[in-house]
Structure 1
Amino acid sequence: MASHRRPARVTVLTAAAAATAAASLGAVPASADPGTATEGVRARVDRLYEEAERATESYNKADEKADALRRQVHRAQDGLARGQERVNRMRGALGSLAGAQYRSGGLDPALVLLLSSDPDSYLDRASALDRATARQSTALTELRRENHRLDQERAEARAALGELERSRAEVARHKRTVEGKLAEARRTLASLTTAERADYERASRSGGRAAGPGEGLLPPADLGGTDARAAAAVLAARSAVGRPYVWGATGPSAFDCSGLMVWSYRQAGVSLPRTSSAQRYAGRRVPLSQIRPGDLVTYRGDASHVAIYAGNGQVIHAPYPGARVRYDPVNMMSHVTVTRV
């Protein structure tokens, strides 16, 4: 979705639509110029789309961190279990030793030596027993220390995970708020005539048109000479054209903007970070003048939107909720950054 788009070519708006726009979005009063009212609706919806996309990226970041922390906690718990098992085995061995000493009567070692019929053999056994006991005591001390450390790590990981889960829940609530605003904006747009809505869609796409599967603004670019991985990613993205935008989706039947990049490059055997802001740094920066098919194109100062360059001045991307994966001009938004994976 665009933060800078061509002005909408709408000159007439019904009074009902203007009233609905003013009432539901508060963009302009009902008595304002109809064209201004429509532009106000468009600007409001555009802002909502951007808010929704930023919320989705924040959600994806929190989700990614939570998944990593879950794995960390799982590893810590596994290590704790193994350490505890070793401690238990050591305790069992020490218990057996203590039991043997008890059964022997617990006599003073000097007296046992005097009474022994084979003093040399006794001394050898006693020395070995002392060494074994010392080793086991040291090992037990170390394992107890390790057990304590693992307990601390587990507590810290649980606390961090709880914090991340709360953060993710907060992001999810923000998403629901944005979705409510989007629904309100859609209701307002629904009050426009069919022709006005079509004109709004053209304006909101910076001059593009809705593309069905396999369609684009221009014929698909020839990928001959393109790096094999990049070409495979572009072909995957082409196959996704027409599929819906869905929050947090990474394919194959639906995508959000960064999810489409993850899926497309996964088909080429390349693993990308989950978020568009991380994808901006997933390779080498190149000037827009040197862009090639397969390059990632991020937009806005915060890199909250991402697309894949398909050639012929076009990108393929998942635009926003309610839209489908499609082709659009590479310069459809501001702050363009090109990354070669």
Structure 2
Amino acid sequence: MATHRRPRQPRLARATLTAAAATAVALGAAAAAQASPADPAVASHPSEQEVKQQVDELYAQAETATERYDGTRERVRQLRVEAASLQDQVARGRDALNRMLEDLSEIAGAQYRSGGIAPTMQLMLSSDPDGYLDRATALDRLAAQQADVLHEVATKQRALDQRRAEAAARLADLETARHDLVRDKQDVQRRLGRARALLDTLTGGQRARLTAEDARAARQRVNAATGGVGLSSLPAPDARAATAVAAATGALGSPYFYGAAGPYSFDCSGLMYWAWRQAGVTLPRTSQAQAGAGRRIPLSEARPGDLVIYYGDMHHVGMYVGGGTIIHAPYPGARVRYESARTMPIAAVVRV
């Protein structure tokens, strides 16, 4: 029976084909590597300016998340206070209701002890009609008092039920807000972690150079805003604003830290909150809420102590100090410093 085998190729021919195939694969891989813009070796080593651009964007996102975190944390604090107050009201209401029920029980007992025979028959059988009439009048008064107490008990019970429902709602809101707080904190940390990872791709010298260049650029912008003659002597609108400006000025050089409101570190709205607290004024905690903390004015009318709110979502804030300049806490890794008021897009200027 005949077999159907392929004829054997010479060794030289097979070796030539193998070498040709290997060469083709190698050339194809090289071409693909050159054509692919996502070369991991290149992507893992961005330039200093690329790192700066990406880090700046992450810092902006982190600041937005920080303001959301600050707002959520303030809501948690308020809900805790409200829930505790409502729970206290429930406890007090329950004690008052119990006392009223005890009074009602005593009245009912008194009526029971004096009842059992019709009032006319009691009068006929009484050896002391005058005394009976006095007692009957007292019982009538007890009955009227009982009706009043019953009405008050019903009113108190309705109020107590309402307070219980409000307390339960606040506690539910508080639990939701706590979950939101954890989520917002994780969001901030995730973005800051990505920024740190990018910065870690640079050498220590490169990171120091970027920091120095950023600070130098800020000084140049301030000099340009003030005309190189320093801050103007424009007075604050009142003594409170002057005190707030003095406090913010005293914080120059303090580090930025998300969620911080002094006295040793700050985020942007935390610096405003702390500075105005030194003047006896309690601002809302977030930049978005601070935008509604006073009267809106144009930048041309700004005076020291006014709040300058930035960006469309109002996620950044600084304090105007005159000469077209603000004091603000810029971003993680930077320190509280002066900046030109027009460096960022202005959303609002607020006179507290």
- What TM-score bracket applies, with the shorter chain setting the length? 0.7 to 0.9
Asked if the contact 2:104/2:150 (under 8 Å) is kept, the reply is no
- Which of 83, 93, 114 is the matching residue for 1:83? 93
Q: 1:17 maps to which residue?
A: none
Post-superposition CA distance 1:79-98 (Å, at most 9, x none): 32333222222222222233
Q: 1:3 maps to which residue?
A: none
Whether 1:296 aligns to 2:307 is yes
Percent of residue pairs identical: 49
Counterpart CA distance in 2 for 1:292 and 1:168 is 39
- Which of 315, 319, 323 is the matching residue for 1:308? 319
Counterpart CA distance in 2 for 1:336 and 1:225 is 22
Q: 2:251 maps to which residue?
A: 240
Unaligned runs of 5+ in 2: 1-36, 221-225
Q: 1:43 maps to which residue?
A: 53
Asked if the contact 1:202/1:208 (under 8 Å) is kept, the reply is no
SS in 1 for 2:218: coil
Whether 1:137 aligns to 2:151 is no
Aligned-pair distance for 1:35?
11
Whether 1:322 aligns to 2:333 is yes
Q: Which of 60-69 and 119-128 deviates more?
A: 119-128
Q: 2:197 maps to which residue?
A: 187
C-alpha change, 1:131 and 1:195, in structure 2 (3 Å) is: same
Counterpart CA distance in 1 for 2:174 and 2:103 is 42
Q: TM-score scaled to structure 2, two decimals?
A: 0.76
Asked if the contact 1:297/1:308 (under 8 Å) is kept, the reply is yes
Q: TM-score scaled to structure 1, two decimals?
A: 0.78
CA RMSD of aligned residues (A): 3.2
Aligned-pair distance for 1:194?
5.0
Q: Which of 101-110 and 87-96 deviates more?
A: 101-110
Q: Which has the larger radius of gyration?
A: 2
SS in 2 for 1:298: strand
C-alpha change, 1:206 and 1:139, in structure 2 (3 Å) is: farther
Unaligned runs of 5+ in 1: 1-26, 211-215
1:100-139 matches, within 5 Å, as 100-104=110-114, 106-139=116-149
Q: 1:18 maps to which residue?
A: none
Aligned-pair distance for 1:207?
1.9
C-alpha change, 1:139 and 1:61, in structure 2 (3 Å) is: farther
Asked if the contact 1:57/1:276 (under 8 Å) is kept, the reply is yes
Aligned-pair distance for 1:203?
5.9
Post-superposition CA distance 1:82-126 (Å, at most 9, x none): 332222222222222333344446333332222234434433432
Aligned-pair distance for 1:46?
1.9
Aligned-pair distance for 1:276?
0.9
SS in 1 for 2:349: strand
Q: 1:213 maps to which residue?
A: none
1:251-262 matches, within 5 Å, as 251-262=262-273
Q: Which has the higher helix share?
A: 2
Q: 1:68 maps to which residue?
A: 78
Asked if the contact 1:87/1:144 (under 8 Å) is kept, the reply is no
Tell me which amino acid in the other structure corresponds to 2:250: S
Aligned-pair distance for 1:301?
0.9
Whether 1:249 aligns to 2:265 is no
Q: 1:12 maps to which residue?
A: none
Whether 1:281 aligns to 2:292 is yes
Aligned length: 310
Asked if the contact 2:107/2:146 (under 8 Å) is kept, the reply is no
Counterpart CA distance in 2 for 1:120 and 1:248 is 80
Asked if the contact 2:244/2:305 (under 8 Å) is kept, the reply is yes
Post-superposition CA distance 1:25-65 (Å, at most 9, x none): xx975676999843332232222212222222222222222
Q: 2:344 maps to which residue?
A: 333
Aligned-pair distance for 1:189?
1.8
Structure with bigger RCO (C-alpha 8 Å, 6+ apart): 1
Counterpart CA distance in 1 for 2:252 and 2:229 is 14
Counterpart CA distance in 2 for 1:196 and 1:154 is 60
Q: Which of 260-269 and 224-233 deviates more?
A: 224-233
Asked if the contact 2:307/2:319 (under 8 Å) is kept, the reply is yes
Asked if the contact 1:258/1:305 (under 8 Å) is kept, the reply is yes
Q: 1:174 maps to which residue?
A: 184
SS in 1 for 2:262: coil
Counterpart CA distance in 2 for 1:317 and 1:258 is 9
